[in-house]
Chain A
Amino acid sequence: QQPVQSPQAVILREGEDAVINCSSSKALYSVHWYRQKHGEAPVFLMILLKGGEQKGHEKISASFNEKKQQSSLYLTASQLSYSGTYFCGTEMTYKLSFGAGTTVTVRA
């Protein structure tokens, strides 16, 4: 079952902050975050594992609440390069299910 993301879209000015939420009706072992720019492939941002471990490549932070089956991605002091569609994914037995995405537009 697909996770649910909110909001669907957000518009920011450079330097502003935003939060993207992801929730699941099923117990989560891990949450994955990807960003896809228009016309490009999704790019890995981070994985949050049950127990608190995080693996990521970018200076974008996230949280994972195992009890509430929720994750949030924090875009802090946003830059123009943060624009794109953000997808959260939940994994169960090798199957990664993505949400519908949150489109982020950062304006100068």
Chain B
Amino acid sequence: DAGVTQSPTHLIKTRGQQVTLRCSPKSGHDTVSWYQQALGQGPQFIFQYYEEEERQRGNFPDRFSGHQFPNYSSELNVNALLLGDSALYLCASSFPGAYSYEQYFGPGTRLTVT
């Protein structure tokens, strides 16, 4: 059973460019959350997708957008990249059978903006 997968593993972009990160959830999971983790910090919640809709959003600007596909996979898009967007981007999937549920994290995409 494959866990959460993310692509690409590493990415280098220039300021002002746009980037798309991809995530495939664990088998049987229908909810995907995205997090940004700066070096030495805890993961910061970007947004969560469920039934192809953004269900909740953290304190991130509109430059951060996402999408969930019918097969539950998800994309994170970041426009007009800033140096401060350099971070590890984590995707986590879960099956919300109850109000609180455990999340399974993928290995992350390391984004470097130069």
Contact = CB atoms under 8 A, between A and B. Distances in A.
B43 A42 contact: yes
A87 B42 contact: yes
Interface in B45-88: 45, 48, 50, 55-58
A96 B33 contact: yes
Interface residues of A, number: 24
B100 A98 contact: no
Interface of B: 4, 33, 35, 41-45, 48, 50, 55-58, 90, 99-108
Majority secondary structure of chain A interface residues (helix, strand, loop or mixed): strand
Nearest to A44: B102
Contacts of B41: 100-101
Given A97-B45, A98-B42, A100-B41, A49 B100 contact: yes
A32 B44 contact: no
A43 B58 CA distance: 21
26 contacts: A32-B100, A32-B103, A40-B107, A42-B43, A42-B105, A44-B102, A44-B103, A47-B101, A49-B100, A87-B42, A91-B100, A93-B56, A94-B48, A95-B48, A95-B56, A95-B57, A96-B33, A96-B103, A97-B45, A98-B35, A98-B43, A98-B44, A98-B45, A100-B41, A100-B42, A101-B42
B4 to A, nearest CB: 8
